[in-house]
Amino acid sequence: MPNLYKIGFSRGEVKKRISNAEKDPTYLMAPVKVMDDYKVYNAHPSKVEALIHRLFASARLDLTQIDAKGKDYDPSEWFMVPLEEVQKGIELIVSGDVIYYNYDRQQEKLVPAEN
């Protein structure tokens, strides 16, 4: 799938976290590649993550994954958004200007919010 990215946070080292991605429904039971990595200071990482997820909610992947034990799993951190737009979204969060933007799924980009 084009522009499919997992957006989430980890308290530990990312490379260690994804080492068994092929066996983890969180990673769609497939190998993954780290495309970008950010450190969060002076904020709760889970709140930053929630803000990013809210910003790109319209592009969230709607999928149910079945793990090796037959249990249903709905991966909620996967989004179909161009990487450049994810990076722009993070810049907008850091600057505080994110409140002036929405993600337009049809255009596949962040656009100024209508008042």
Residue 104: partners with Cβ closer than 8 Å, 6 or more residues away: 58, 110, 111
Model pLDDT for residues 15-69, shown as the tens digit of each residue: 888 999 998 888 988 999 999 998 888 889 899 999 999 999 999 999 888 877 8
Residue 86's pLDDT is: 97
CB 52 within 8 A of CB 94: no
Q: Check residue 111 and report its DSSP letter.
A: E
**Do the beta carbons of residue 82 and residue 1 sit within 8 Å?**
no
Residue range 102-109: average pLDDT?
97
List the structure tokens of 54. Answer: 């809210």
The first and second tokens of residue 10, run together, are: 């980890």
- pTM, entire model: 0.88
Q: Domain ranges in the chain?
A: 4-112
Q: Which amino acid is at 70?
A: G
Tokens encoding 15:
């490379």
Q: Is 66 exposed, middle or buried (0-12, 13-18, 19+ CB in 10 A)?
A: exposed
What's residue 103's pLDDT? 98
Q: Report residue 95's pLDDT band, with 50, 70 and 90 as the boundaries.
A: very high
